[in-house]
Amino acid sequence: MENQKEEKRQGVRRGIKICLITFFIAFILVVVGSLLYLNWIINTPVSGDSGKQYFEIKKDETTLSISQNLKEKDLVKSDVIFAIYAKIKGRSLITGIYEIPKNIKMIDVFDIISNGKTKIVKFTIPEGFRVEQIGQLLEEKKLGSYEDFVLKGKKYEGQLFPDTYFISPDYTTDQIIETMHQDYLNRISGLKLTDEDLIIASIVEREANREAQRPIIAGIYKNRLSSGMKLQSDPTVQYGKDSLALNNLTMKKQVDFKFWNAVTNADFLTVDSAYNTYMVNGLPSGPICNPGIASISATINYTSSNYLYFIVANDQIYPATTYTEHKANVAKYLN
């Protein structure tokens, strides 16, 4: 009897021992597996792509939010592990815009954004800006001088694409112009865009308030040209008037010049400029601004109609086929 009890106790001890050994082995396997997984997360790039991605850290953004954004952009494998890693390292993630390679390790991503490496400058050129306005914006952001940009960029009026750009703060004026012009060339690739279309598109850009208005306005200007009528476009007078005013200012004072002020009926008859389409026949001598792709596409794919006149009032377009109809629209919607 006693032997049976002893055997039973030994069996229980063996069972406990086996359980403990099994648990220990499982624990070791979990620990080793976790370490291997962590090592894979930390030291393996998300992608083998050699390209780069722009990543922005905004002011007062939390580490967790930054980690989640990194995961969403496929720059790290785990947002949780990145956040823990950043906490352990105890280093702040610095506000700014970064150019991060897609094929680097998580620890390298952390190193970039915690040391402010490869910081990038972001700026946006609105649609309809003329070259001088772009120069003003770049000088304001300390990306070059207004004078240098205008002198070198003026010949590209209409061909500096309005877009959001991410560049190195070390970019020269020539590099900025080349970047913007190449963006323009990329955008119009495959489009049958003539010099005439680009000029019309620049006028449409300054005339239209809504997307749907662009092809209608482009079609009206094409009708006026084919009919031998003057374009009589207010924005061309604005461009000419502003250009004449700039000629009387030093480059230093031009930096603070305000563009696109309203013109009067007297301006239509007195602004002596090749851009005053109330006085000159046909198209002005060049684009009056840098149009976006919507205005360019609308000019190429314009709305065919019999309209020869239009006004834009309260964000609505009111076209007309005759001058009598046009005057009625002016009286009704503008007076």
The verdict on 170 and 278 lying in the same domain is yes
Rounded to whole angstroms, the Cα distance separating 101 from 98 reads 10
Instruction: Report yes or no on 38 lying in a domain.
Output: no
C-alpha angle 31-48-63 in degrees, rounded to nearest 5: 60
Rounded to whole angstroms, the Cα distance separating 120 from 96 reads 7
Q: Which string of DSSP letters, residue by residue, matches 131-166?
A: HHHHHHHHHHTTSS-HHHHHHHHGGGTT-S---EEE
What's the pLDDT at 24?
61
Please check the confidence at residue 2 and state whether its pLDDT lies above 90.
no
What's the pLDDT at 189?
96
The verdict on 85 and 181 lying in the same domain is no
User: Could you identify the residue written with the tokens 């150019």?
Assistant: 99
What's the pLDDT at 282?
95
User: Could you identify the residue written with the tokens 């962590």?
Assistant: 38
The verdict on 73 and 211 lying in the same domain is no
Distance of CA 287 to the CA centre of its chain: 22
Q: Please write the tens of the pLDDT for every residue from 167-225.
A: 988 899 999 999 999 999 999 999 999 999 999 999 999 999 999 999 999 999 999 99
Instruction: Give the pair of three-digit tokens for residue 59.
Output: 């002011």
Q: Which of 49-58, 78-87, 94-103, 246-255 has the highest mean pLDDT?
A: 246-255
- Asked if 263 and 239 touch (Cβ cutoff 8 Å), the reply is no
Residue 86: domain span? 52-117
Q: At what angle do helices 195-207 and 293-300 cross, to 10 degrees?
A: 120
Instruction: For residue 201, count CB atoms less than 10 angstroms from its CB and return exposed for 0-12, middle for 13-18, buried for 19 or more.
Output: buried
The verdict on 105 and 235 lying in the same domain is no
What's the pLDDT at 20?
62
The verdict on 270 and 173 lying in the same domain is yes
Q: What's 320's DSSP letter?
A: E
Total count of domains within the chain: 2
What's the pLDDT at 184?
98
Which of 68, 85, 117 terminates a domain? The answer is 117
Instruction: For residue 124, count CB atoms less than 10 angstroms from its CB and return exposed for 0-12, middle for 13-18, buried for 19 or more.
Output: exposed
Please check the confidence at residue 77 and state whether its pLDDT lies above 80.
yes
The verdict on 265 and 148 lying in the same domain is yes
Residue 97: CATH number of its domain: 3.30.1490.480
